Amino acid sequence: MIKHLLFIFLLGTTSLPNFASTTLKLVSLEYPPYIEVVDNQVTGIAVTLIKEVFQSINQPISIEVLPWARAIAYVKKGRADAIFTAFKTKEREVFLDYNQGVLFDQKIRLVVHSDYANSLSKVAQTSPDYSAYRLCIVNKVSYGPLIDEAIENREFKQVQRTMSSGSCAKMLEAKRIHIWVSNEFGAKNDIAKLGFNESLSLLSPPIQVTPSYIAFSKKKDHTLLIKEFDRVLKQFKDNGRYQEIVDSYFLKVRTKANSTADLIQN
């Protein structure tokens, strides 16, 4: 059954700007930890950020979680006002207006067991030799051209494909593989939830960095709204609120994981 949930976030209408006279409909894909559904509520780092930015400009919004292809179709046809978090492509720029400020730089990172972090640090460098390493990936997920091409060219000793990133984390923690490749926030999310903060490490630098945005349907004129969104987003980054949102999310995840571990031990 396809998950089809609607989260309404309505704000007070006192002294709203003209563009805020109606609720703005946003669509997205469930993509933890950016967007996720917990106890029938839409939450996540990107959701918190989006909500706070629009709250600052007194703009009511709704967020609907959809399969990605359907979400794209909604904004293309004007059935939704905006989509997040979206990569910028020439094809999409035909029917979408992107905000200027980056929502998140989505970094692709290699994750290794902490016992071998020093010896494996070379695999995060330019032109690495992967031939001695077993890799874990989530099936059908792209990790950018560098890793995708290395996999296609059979540069790894072995590639283990799983149905979830958490499965890769568990295999790495058990030392059944050498490397797990993941989006940085996704990896941190899994590591914190599984209580693997001491045993797993993210290598630097990132293999690839791809900026993601909120993008608005060209079926309506959102010029003023985009300008206001970018103004507040920059303000959040300048005054530290942006980083607070990110840090607060992972602190909650780690605290919950530690509490669960304590209950199990007791």
pLDDT at residue number 257: 65
Contacts of 24 (CB under 8 A, 6+ apart): 54, 59, 60, 61, 62, 81, 82, 225
Nearest-10 Cα torsion for 211, 216, 219, 220: -140
Per-residue model confidence as pLDDT tens for the chain (266 residues) = 444 445 444 444 334 455 556 899 999 988 889 999 988 899 999 999 999 999 999 999 999 999 888 999 999 999 999 999 998 889 999 999 999 999 999 899 999 999 999 989 888 777 789 999 999 998 877 788 888 889 999 999 999 999 888 999 999 999 999 999 998 998 998 998 899 999 999 999 998 898 999 999 999 999 999 999 999 999 999 999 999 999 998 888 778 766 655 444 55
**Cα separation, 203 vs 107, whole angstroms:** 11
Determine the number of helices (DSSP H) and then strands (DSSP E) in the chain: 8, 13
Residue 167 neighbours by CB under 8 Å, 6+ apart: 136
DSSP E strand stretches across the chain: 5-9, 24-28, 36-38, 41-43, 61-65, 82-87, 96-98, 104-113, 134-138, 158-162, 179-183, 200-202, 208-217
Note the Cα 94 to chain centre separation in Å: 24
Closest CA to 199 of 114, 109, 111: 114
| Pairwise CA distance, residues 233 & 162, whole Å | 36
pLDDT at 19: 54
Question: What is this structure's pTM?
Answer: 0.76
Cα 81 to Cα 132: distance, rounded to the nearest angstrom: 48
Kindly report the number of other CB atoms within 10 A of residue 101's CB atom: 19
Residues 6+ apart with CB under 8 A from 220: 78, 81
Whole-angstrom distance, CA of residue 151 vs CA of residue 39: 37
Three-class DSSP labels, 2-24: CCCEEEEECCCCCCCCHHHCCCE
Q: What is the pLDDT of residue 250?
A: 86
Return the pLDDT at 1. 43
Q: What is the per-residue pLDDT for 3?
A: 47
